[in-house]
């Protein structure tokens, strides 16, 4: 039996199974011949398995079985801790890290660890990259993702797609609606700091707050290497190194680097009218 090599360890760090079957196209290895054959169909484009509901086709039968649960609503994988259910075994494994605290995905740049590979990818993109490819059609401002751009465009359009089911208020962002439901209608759960008892509407806000107690500053400016507890603080700091002033007063036309500054200035302009 073929022994596990250093290449295998790099590709499968959490798995010690030998993989003697090699794909000649992408060099990926598999434990069994059947797994290799199923994988090879991805390169050939062959999709012999068809969904009887929506006619979508798949290269492997297990992919079809997994897809079929979308139509049936079946969620066979259940968490034994909180009883939450999932369609896929992999989703349950990822969820269990919430209970175990396991964080196998580590950033090579700042050593911060994450429970999900997607969280690590997002962290790298927002904390360690300045690449912005999404441009606002109204003001030309660039963003790192389409999600950020969609949220920004609402500033120009005035769109408020999130409405409260208890009152007539509408909100531009989902987090603003959730905060409103919690504060105004007592719907939801507060997250409380166990050190200073401060309350937060979102667990993510509590996590950022706890970093201040721990003194953890993982977000680093690539211009001056100054460190910050949150990506929002880093974002507020970065205009210091730029001459670009992206915020404009609608009354006098004066430009500013920070949104908070232009808001204060705008109030003063209104008072002068």
Domain that holds residue 35: 6-44
Residue 160 lies in a domain: no
Torsion angle defined by CA atoms of residues 98, 102, 108 and 111, in that order, rounded to the nearest 10 degrees: 90
Residue 25 lies in a domain: yes
Residue 158 lies in a domain: no
Mean pLDDT of the 139-143 span: 83
Residue 16's pLDDT band, with cuts at 50, 70 and 90, is: low
> What was the pLDDT predicted at 12?
44
Residue 89's pLDDT band, with cuts at 50, 70 and 90, is: confident
Instruction: Give tens-digit pLDDT for 29-39.
Output: 888 888 888 78
Residue 95 lies in a domain: no
Average pLDDT score, the chain: 81
1-10, 41-50, 102-111, 223-232, range with the lowest pLDDT: 1-10
Residue 118 lies in a domain: no
Judge whether residue 8 has pLDDT over 70.
no
User: What percentage of residues in the chain have a pLDDT greater than 90?
Assistant: 5
- CATH assignment of the domain containing 227: 3.30.160.60
- CATH assignment of the domain containing 30: 3.30.160
CA 114 to chain centre: 11
Residue 9's pLDDT band, with cuts at 50, 70 and 90, is: very low
For residue 237, which of 216, 254, 215, 219 has the smallest C-alpha distance? 219
Mean pLDDT of the 162-191 span: 89
Residue 231 lies in a domain: yes
Residue 228 lies in a domain: yes
Question: Total structural domains in the chain?
Answer: 2
SS3 24: coil
List the beta strands (DSSP E) in the chain.
Answer: 21-22, 29-30, 49-50, 57-58, 77-78, 85-86, 105-106, 113-114, 134-135, 142-143, 162-163, 170-171, 191-192, 199-200, 219-220, 227-228, 247-248, 255-256
The C-alpha atoms of residue 23 and residue 17 are separated, in whole angstroms, by 17
Instruction: Report the 10 Å Cβ neighbour count for 131.
Output: 7
Residue 7's pLDDT band, with cuts at 50, 70 and 90, is: very low
Residue 71's pLDDT band, with cuts at 50, 70 and 90, is: confident
Q: Say if residues 254 and 248 touch (Cβ distance below 8 Å).
A: yes
Judge whether residue 170 has pLDDT over 90.
yes
Residue 182 lies in a domain: no
> What was the pLDDT predicted at 166?
92
The C-alpha atoms of residue 160 and residue 153 are separated, in whole angstroms, by 11
Task: Please state whether the predicted TM-score (pTM) of the whole model is above 0.85.
Answer: no
Mean pLDDT of the 36-47 span: 81
């Amino acid at each position: 039996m073929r022994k596990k090599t250093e290449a295998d360890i790099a590709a499968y760090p959490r798995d010690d199974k030998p993989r003697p079957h090699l794909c000649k196209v992408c060099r990926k290895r598999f434990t069994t011949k059947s797994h290799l054959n199923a994988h090879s169909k991805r390169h050939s484009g062959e999709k012999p398995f068809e969904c009887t509901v929506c006619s979508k086709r798949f290269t492997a039968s297990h992919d079809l079985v997994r897809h079929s649960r979308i139509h049936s609503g079946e969620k066979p994988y259940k968490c034994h801790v909180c009883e939450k259910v999932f369609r896929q075994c992999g989703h349950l494994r990822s969820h269990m890290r919430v209970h175990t605290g396991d964080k196998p995905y580590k950033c090579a740049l700042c050593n911060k660890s994450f429970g999900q590979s997607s969280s690590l990818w997002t962290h790298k993109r927002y904390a360690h990259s300045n690449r912005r490819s999404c441009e606002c059609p109204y003001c030309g401002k660039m963003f790192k993702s389409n999600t950020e751009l969609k949220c920004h465009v609402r500033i120009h359009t005035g769109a408020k797609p999130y409405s409260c089911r208890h009152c007539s208020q509408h909100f531009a962002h989902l987090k603003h609606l959730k905060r409103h439901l919690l504060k105004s209608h007592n719907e939801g759960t507060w997250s409380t700091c166990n050190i200073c008892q401060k309350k937060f509407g979102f667990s993510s806000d509590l996590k950022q707050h706890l970093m201040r107690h721990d003194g953890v500053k993982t977000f680093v400016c690539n211009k001056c290497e100054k460190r910050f507890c949150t990506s929002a603080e880093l974002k507020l700091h970065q205009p210091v190194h730029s001459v670009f002033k992206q915020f404009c007063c609608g009354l006098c036309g004066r430009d500013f680097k920070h949104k908070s500054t232009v808001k204060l200035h705008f109030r003063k302009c209104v008072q002068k009218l």
